[in-house]
A and B are shown apart, each in its own frame.
Chain A
Amino acid sequence: MKRFLVILFALFTSLAATAQTKKYTNHNELSVITYGPIFLESGFGLHTFHGLNLNEKFAIGLNTGLDRYPVNNNGAKWFLPLSAKVNYIAYPDRKRSFFAGVDLGYGFAFLNKTVQTNNLKSKYRGGVLFSPQLGWRFNFKNSQSYWSLATGYRYQQFKREDSYSAPSSNLPGRDYVNGLISNENRYHLHRFTLQVGLGF
């Protein structure tokens, strides 16, 4: 986690250092986060990318926003994603162009409340985020702006840590259990995304 923040900071400062010569770029997206093309138990994401064009085709920067994932039997979980992102545009000069992007970062889980009862304390911890996307961008007439349509894959990891101050007997179907001491659920969410965006 610390290492990740150090890398992001280094990336950010190096971007800032080169910002004098490179052109700033921005891309904002609204995502439907679902398990597949049939939208069951879907969540959403709002993301904003701020970066620099390294050349005509490549841009690099930071992506952040807000994600909501419904998690089976465990309610909806909220994340604040912070990731490094690389964008590639195949034909920047054309009115319509294929583009690809990839995010690698961390989803912070502090928006999910710690559950505290007499005996149980459940804490959420965030985890690695990885999200490649493919799509088209369509330039507006006589403008640097464009809108985009993309699909992708989104991997978000997080975990819930339960600790019991006194042994608790609540593991269903296990009568011989005298007391639960600790429990950790590590979730690997593999989701499909559909994104619309605006950028310049």
Chain B
Amino acid sequence: MYFMKKARLILFGSLFLLGCDKIEQKGQYLAQVPVFETMESIRAKANAISTPRTITQAGKIYIYQDYLFINEPNKGIHIYNNTDPSKPKAISFLNIPGNVDLAVQEGRLYADSFADLLTFDLADPTAPRLLARNENVFKTVLQKDYINNIPDVVVTGYRDSLVSYAYKNKYSPYEKKYLEYNESNSGVGQGGSMARFTLANKHLYAVDHSTLHLFNVQDSRNPVYVKDVKLGFGIETVFPYKNNLFIGSNTGMLIFDISTASEPTELSRYAHIRACDPVVVNDKYAFVTLRTGSACGGQQNLLEVVDIQDLKNPTLKYTYSLENPHGLALSDQTLYVCDGDYGFKSFDASDVSKIGDKLLENIKELKSMDVIAGSKSLLVTGSNGLYQYDYSNRTKLKELSVIPVIKSN
């Protein structure tokens, strides 16, 4: 009888048992795994001048005197003698690992190298000489190598790798979720940062995707880090105009007063636009392009004209449809717009209410990304190279030269 009681107890007790499913998942996948390197190692082998080389990818372009500086993202800077824009001549290549932007002022070239800011003397523009290195000022590029547990490394590249993974899950319908999640293999990080440099009022403003890094360059031999200003995420471009900075983010345009250069003060945020490559500015208006299909998440392909006469209250005035606008430039009364795969367009912008009706020229075959209105030529970055145009006749651009960009596979 004692045994029966015990059995009943066991049966009754079993009613409180709960089952579950345990799932072990494992497998292999091909992935691009980041290659990490410490800043010390990068500094040790940095900034050797080498002979000219083919451009495989064109980044930021800068014109200084008769010289053209073309950034090759993450590799360095190509230097061209552009005395005659119809015959630009390659002079040298400045090796700067991790370089994505540059700015030049008063004979000084400022360039980023992953987390560092480098200052070069351009007394001889064919062979810039390193003057100063501000270490670890762009901390957002610093990562941690979790696999080898090394802090403060940067991603210098990616390699194809076969990665094994193993997870353990537990499931029960009484809790409609997985109860446990154990991952035994991780550490694949994402690296990179796109800095945007601009110089104004003896200060260098370097903007990455979320922060404005401010440097005092009054002593141009020795930039002094001042401070960081948090901007919010999705920062794309920065455009200085007089005593203001216009910062394009993918959710709007920020306007800063930099009359006290070391203390940028936010004046306003023009929201409701998703601007990727946004801003050129004159006294009255900011011209902003929006495009779809980019990482910025835009929904429309538009050119917007924003009234900025009251900087604290920018207001949208006019909107024009475009195909896939990227960079833009303003020269006198002409607005140049890179319309991606749909060509390169110029508009008469003398009357901002009629820009859309006043297309001056459309070079359809020029798949264009960015444009700079230089003193001697109009420089347009296309998918196949860097094009220079004579733009003295604003209704008919005349091609002067092409520096080819040959993509490496």
Contact = CB atoms under 8 A, between A and B. Distances in A.
B237 to A, nearest CB: 24
A175 B173 CA distance: 30
Chain A: interface size category:
35 or more
Nearest to A34: B19
A134 B17 contact: no
B4 A98 contact: yes
Contacts of A188: 21-24
Given A34-B19, A36-B18, A182 B32 contact: no
Chain B: interface size category:
20 to 34
Contacts of B27: 162, 180-184
A185 B16 contact: no
Contacts of A174: 29
Contact of A90 (B3, B23, B190): B3
Interface stretch (B7-15, B241-249, B353-361): B7-15
B272 interface: no
A36 B23 CA distance: 18
A196 B303 CA distance: 75
Nearest to B4: A98
Contacts of A35: 18-20, 172-174
B172 A171 contact: no
A43 B113 CA distance: 62
B21 A181 contact: no
A151 B18 contact: no
A191 B174 CA distance: 13
A178 B174 contact: no
Interface in A152-173: 152-153, 162, 167, 171
A90 B1 CA distance: 11
A38 B14 contact: no
Contacts of A72: 21, 171, 173
B31 interface: yes
A190 B22 contact: yes
Given A35-B174, A72-B173, A151-B11, A177 B18 contact: no
Contacts of A1: none
Interface of B: 3-4, 7, 10-11, 14-32, 160, 162, 171-174, 188, 190
Interface of A: 34-38, 40-41, 71-72, 90, 98, 134-135, 151-153, 162, 167, 171, 174, 176-192
